[in-house]
Structures are given as C-alpha cells and as structure tokens.
Structure 1
Amino acid sequence: MKILVAEDDRFHANYILDAISDALPEVTETVHALNGAEAEAEALGGAYDGIVMDLQMDGRNGIDAARTIWSHRPDSRILFWSNYADQAYLRGIARIVPEASAYGYVLKTASRERLTLALRAVLLEGQIMVNHELHQLQRKGPYDSALDESEYAILLDLALGLQDKAIAKRRNMSLRTVQNRLLSIYDKLGVEDAGGEMLNKRVRALNCAIRSKVLNLQVLESANAEYERWRQRD
C-alpha cells in the first residue's frame, strides 16, 4: 500500500507520517509532497492507494490540488486534514468530489484515536468520513446558513463580482430565479436584520458569509480559477 502526504509544515508532516505508520501497518511506502503542486505531480505520476491532503499550502491549496487529481483519477481516496472547521472547506470539497469516491475531513486537533480511525476508514476501507467536531463547531455559528447547492453557487458568483444577468447566464437560470435565490441567501445569512436600508445587501451578504465561515480565501481563490476556466470556454 502506497500513501502520498501533502503537507508544507514540517512538524505536522512528521506527525502525520508517524500516525500513518502506526495506523496503517499495511503501508509499504509513504511519499511526502511539500505543497499542492508537488502533490498533483506525484499523484498523477505514480500509483497511490491513498492521499492525505493539507488544505492550506503556499502556492496551491489542497482543494485545487484535489480537483486536479480527481479530474484525472476519480477513484483516488483523499483524506483532508486542516486546522480549520470552516463550512467553506466542506462546501468546496463537496463540489469537486466525484460520485462514490472515498474522502474524509479531519481536524489537526483531533485525537490520535480519531485520526487513526479516519486514516483507516478513508484510505484503507474506502469510506466517507467527516470529523464529528466539525459539525459541532459549525452549529455554534451566528447564522442559519444552510444554503443549498444552487444558492451557494450564486453566493460564490456574487463574491466574484458577477451581476445578476451574468450569474443567470453562467448557471443557466432565468433572471427571476437568480433574484429569488438571492432573496433566500439574504434571509439565511441574516442580511435583513443587519442594518436595513442603510446597507448594500450584496456586500452585507458577503460580509456575513465570511464572518460565519461559509466563505474563505482559499475557496474564493478556487472559485475564481473555476470562473476563469468557464469564461475562456464561453
């Protein structure tokens, strides 16, 4: 069994390599990539049974690296691990994971027992596993931001600066549908209760989304790259 670890922090790299050694005696080889770009090259150039992917790395984040890997090898088993419990990361991963692929998300603050369970469940057994602590932390957020996938896609377009007509064209929706989705987004993010007519609702929605960790910088970077690819095709 051959495992790829993508981690740019030496301390965390040593920790996860040691954890893999303990949790997966089936592993015969472990390769360490220092960043997302290196992880992509390794994953596409070699036969790996599983990947542990840090989400925040200089140069190329884990979501973008995973998207590239999955686009070429959709059966890749990837366990993401991170210091952050942002809803944005879970949304970003859910948008790119191929159907029926095994993946997981575990916090770096998780216990060694929880990490061992995640490593074996995702990389060895091919299960989907998300650290239960993520859901506990997310429920403490200030907003009921349970956006559906359509609303979340429009929120990303909003963050990229697209006007309603451009969003409708990109998402293949009517203008009225986009505007109705925006009203729902405002309601779920608490925009109506956050200043009334004195505030720009579009800007306020982004402010609320960022503060409640529905959006973050890494996901916005990935969304921008995805938009540029769409624009070039259009």
Structure 2
Amino acid sequence: MNPDHALIIADDNSRDRNFIIEVLAPRQLIPAENGAEALSLCADVEQPWVITDIQMPRINGIELARRVWETKPSARFLFWSQYDDEMYVRALAKSVPAETVYGYIMKNNSVTILEKAVNAVFDECQCWIDPQVRPVQARAHKHTSSISDLEFEVLIDVALGLTDNAIAERHYLSRRGVQNRLQSLYIKLGANTEGHTLSDSELINVRMRAVALALQRGLINAFELQKEEEKLSAWIKSRTINQG
C-alpha cells in the first residue's frame, strides 16, 4: 500500500472505529464518525480510499460510496459490516461503476482476514468479497429470484402497511399496476408457493408472508424501514396539506 495515501475510516460505532484504527495503525488514517463526515472528507481527495461501515445514520455506507462514485469512479471502498443483508448487496451492485475496485468483509472475521481484505483492495487493486456474502450476491443477481426496483418499491410500502390504493396514489400507478407488481414479487419471494396458492386465504395471508420472507432474505430490515417510515410520514403530511 502507498504509505502516503490516507485511508478514511467511517464508522459511527467508536469501539469498531478505534479497533480498525489500532489494527491499521502504521498507515495514515483519517477517522469519520458517520457517512456525512466521510463524504465531506472524500470531497478533498482526488482518489479517496475508504473503509466504511454500512449501517450508519444520515448517510449509510452504500449511499456514501454511491455519491462519491458519481464524481470519482476510481475511489476504492472496503465495506466492513456485521450485516450481509440482500438489500445492501443489491444496492451496492447497482452503485458500483464498471472496473471499480471494492471489497465487502464481515466484521466477525479475524484480524488476519481483515488485513488480507485491506491489502487486496488498497495495495493489490483487487476486489475482495467475503465468502459469507457471495451466496447473497449470487441470489441478488439470479434472474428468477432477483427483485426489480419497482418490485422493491412496493415491498417497502407493503412492509409499511400501505394498501394497494395508497401505493397506487403514492407512486402514480393504477391499482392494477400495483397488483401486477405484487404478483411478480410474491412469485420471486416464494410467498404463494411451497404448497400454497393465492386462493388459500384461510391458511395464509400472502401479503404478510411476503414481508416475512423478505425479512428472512435480508431484503428489508428495521434500521432501513425506520428511514422509509420518515419518508412515508412526509408524504402523508404533504398529501394532507394538498387535500386541505
């Protein structure tokens, strides 16, 4: 690794941030307490090198990378997280520019593996994906089970408890359009398979089954749903004002 090239360490957990700083101490390191601070630091560097957590307030690690890559596609990121949720892997796949070097490592790895990932991304210019993440990555890219952006949109709304009519209004769709997206989502999640059909209304609520399966796959989680809840509240507020 170029000893003169600083590494930005972004993590809102001070214990984790201090741990990685201690492990990589011989190198030039710049700590950031959140994604917003890291984004500001990246603005002052021609080719940022960043080790970042994923789940952070305000700007998460994936969004941080996406914003930096918009103007600096050669920036290198190593995502260091305790989560391998499909929603993050999916969002990352959509954000990575062609030929960009990046890595994804779980926090439960040993120091040796962490150093190996750091060296791969920042010294050897090689992508490094944690073996724990690869199956999730493969599923997210599989045609028969990968969720489209439009399907993910209605999944979030269903998880927030919106009706078909509310989803249609929020996204300027017809009710039939919402139902078509839901049907496709149910099939990809397996919500209406496993021996059941949509007619088995006395056995299973397909809508709730879809949310349960999405949680199991890591397509949604409580942390990100809280952010979506804030967006929903803003929409409801503006809707009330417009109708008043």
Give TM-score scaled by structure 1 length: 0.73
The 1:69–1:84 alpha-carbon spacing in structure 2 relative to 1, beyond 3 Å, is same
Q: 2:210 aligns with which of 199, 205, 208?
A: 205
Q: Tell me the residue number matched to 1:18.
A: 22
Q: 1:156 corresponds to which letter in structure 2?
A: E
Q: CA separation in 2, counterparts of 1:130 and 1:176? A: 40
Instruction: Name the SS of the counterpart of 2:103 in structure 1.
Output: strand
Q: 1:157 aligns with which of 154, 157, 162?
A: 154
1:191 aligns with 2:188: no
1: CA distance between counterparts of 2:146 and 2:170? Answer: 16
Map of 2:13 onto structure 1: 9
Which structure has the greater CA radius of gyration?
2
Q: 1:132 to 1:146 in 2, by over 3 A?
A: farther
Residues 128/3 of structure 1: CA separation in 2 closer, same or farther (3 Å cut) = same
* CA 146–115 in structure 1, closer or farther in 2 if over 3 Å, else same: farther
Mapping of residues 1-234 of structure 1, within 5 Å: 1-21=5-25, 27=27, 29-135=28-134, 147-148=145-146, 150=148, 153-160=150-157, 182-192=182-192, 193=194, 196-198=200-202, 199-219=204-224
The amino acid that maps onto 1:93 is L
Q: Which has the higher contact order (CA 8 A, sep 6+)?
A: 1
Query: Would the aligned equivalents of 1:54 and 1:62 in 2 still touch at CA under 8 Å?
Result: yes
Which letter does structure 2 place at the counterpart of 1:189?
Answer: L
CA RMSD of aligned residues (A): 3.6
User: Are residues 149 and 212 of structure 1, via their aligned partners in 2, closer, same or farther at CA, if it must alter by over 3 Å?
Assistant: closer
Structure with more of its chain in helix, by fraction: 1
> Structure 2: 5+ residue runs without aligned partners?
235-244
Contact 1:19-1:112 at 8 Å conserved across structures: yes
For these two proteins, the number of residue pairs brought into alignment is 215
